């Protein structure tokens, strides 16, 4: 199969966190390049990772290239390269990029009369978080409820049940003037409430997302693709 264009796809380890344009596309012209813009919808983390995938395509494969069609390509045909990134404090300037010498990812056999050479410029990108604006109250996300582990919900219900049970026994002992059992029940109730607080704090961070957080923009250098004649 003789390749006449190169398809590309930009991926991150947090697709819900970043807005990427374009995510997928194909380069068909000589010395054509593409600029991918990534906008952070949430605060940037050092754990964020970015990956660029490239693949040689035949003319008929370039037509109507989309995510569904991309999934039909064999993984052995796809070449991957990570983009090195680092975070830095916000200074109001645009992201700074320090390119590193290009690295050839793939070269077809020399028996082909004409082929495409895919080169990826390894780029160190500085991600700059925007200065937070006016702080607003967090927004509850129903979508996040589905991400809560089932065992965590069971634990919360179990602790709530025993907390009410101990408080009920405490009031019963107070009414009949059983001081020592009442203290025992009160101590258990306070301990269970403490466990509830410890469990509910990380749960709150899952269910509630901050609102009004301005995003951060960063522009990456993507692979430069050019046909070369042997």
Residue 136 has pLDDT above 60, yes or no: no
Torsion-angle region of 216 (φ positive above 0: left; ψ -120 to 50: alpha; else: beta): beta
**Inter-axis angle of helices 150-175 and 179-207, nearest 10:** 150
Phi, then psi, of 91 in degrees rounded to 5: -125, 0
Find where tokens 């819900």 sit. Answer: 16
Beta strands across the sheet bearing 103-106: 103-106, 114-120, 224-229
Residue 31 has pLDDT above 70, yes or no: no
Residues 6+ apart with CB under 8 A from 33: 27, 222, 224, 225
Run of H or E residues at 67: helix 67-70
Please give the mean pLDDT across all residues of the chain. 67
Residue 6 has pLDDT above 80, yes or no: yes
Of the listed ranges 20-24, 29-33, 144-148, the one predicted with least confidence: 144-148
What's the CA dihedral at 67, 214, 94, 217 to 10 degrees? 0
Six-digit token pair at 143?
């979508």
Residue 172 has pLDDT above 60, yes or no: yes
- Residue ranges of domains in the chain: 5-131+214-229, 139-209
Selection from 114-123, 175-184, 200-209 with the highest mean pLDDT: 175-184
Selection from 18-27, 82-91, 131-140, 157-166 with the highest mean pLDDT: 18-27
Residue 217 has pLDDT above 80, yes or no: no
Measured CA to CA in angstroms, residue 72 lies from 23, 61, 62 at distances of: 17, 11, 13
Count CA atoms within 13 Å of residue 109 on its CB side: 4
Fold of 5-131+214-229: Immunoglobulin-like (2.60.40)
**Confidence bin at 221 (pLDDT 50/70/90):** very low
Q: What is the pLDDT of residues 137-157, one digit of tens each?
A: 555 555 555 555 665 666 777
Buried b (16+ CB within 10 A) or exposed e, 101-110: eeeeebebee
Residue 170 near residue 185 (C-beta atoms within 8 A):
yes
Residues 6+ apart with CB under 8 A from 45: 87
CA distance 108 to 2: 10
**Confidence bin at 35 (pLDDT 50/70/90):** confident
- The pLDDT score that the predictor gives to residue 178 is 66
- The pLDDT score that the predictor gives to residue 47 is 81
- The pLDDT score that the predictor gives to residue 129 is 46
């Amino acid at each position: 199969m003789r390749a006449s264009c190169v398809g590309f796809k930009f991926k991150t380890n947090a697709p819900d966190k970043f807005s990427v344009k374009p995510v997928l596309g194909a380069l068909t012209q000589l010395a054509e390049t593409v600029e991918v813009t990534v906008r952070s919808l949430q605060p940037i983390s050092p754990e964020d990772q970015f990956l660029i995938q490239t693949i040689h395509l035949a003319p008929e494969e370039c037509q109507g290239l989309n995510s569904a069609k991309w999934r039909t390509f064999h993984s052995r045909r796809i070449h991957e390269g990570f983009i090195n990134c680092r975070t830095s404090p916000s200074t109001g300037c645009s992201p700074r990029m320090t390119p590193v010498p290009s690295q050839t990812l793939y070269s077809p056999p020399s028996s082909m009369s004409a082929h495409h050479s895919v080169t990826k410029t390894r780029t160190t990108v500085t991600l700059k978080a925007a200065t937070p604006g006016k702080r607003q109250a967090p927004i509850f996300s129903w979508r996040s409820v589905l991400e809560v582990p089932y065992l965590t919900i069971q634990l919360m219900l179990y602790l709530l049940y025993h907390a009410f049970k101990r408080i009920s026994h405490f009031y019963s002992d107070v009414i009949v003037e059983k001081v020592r059992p009442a203290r025992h029940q009160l101590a258990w109730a306070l301990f269970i409430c403490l466990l509830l607080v410890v469990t509910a704090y990380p749960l709150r961070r899952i269910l509630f997302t901050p609102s009004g957080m301005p995003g951060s923009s960063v522009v990456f250098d993507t692979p430069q693709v050019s046909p070369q004649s042997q």
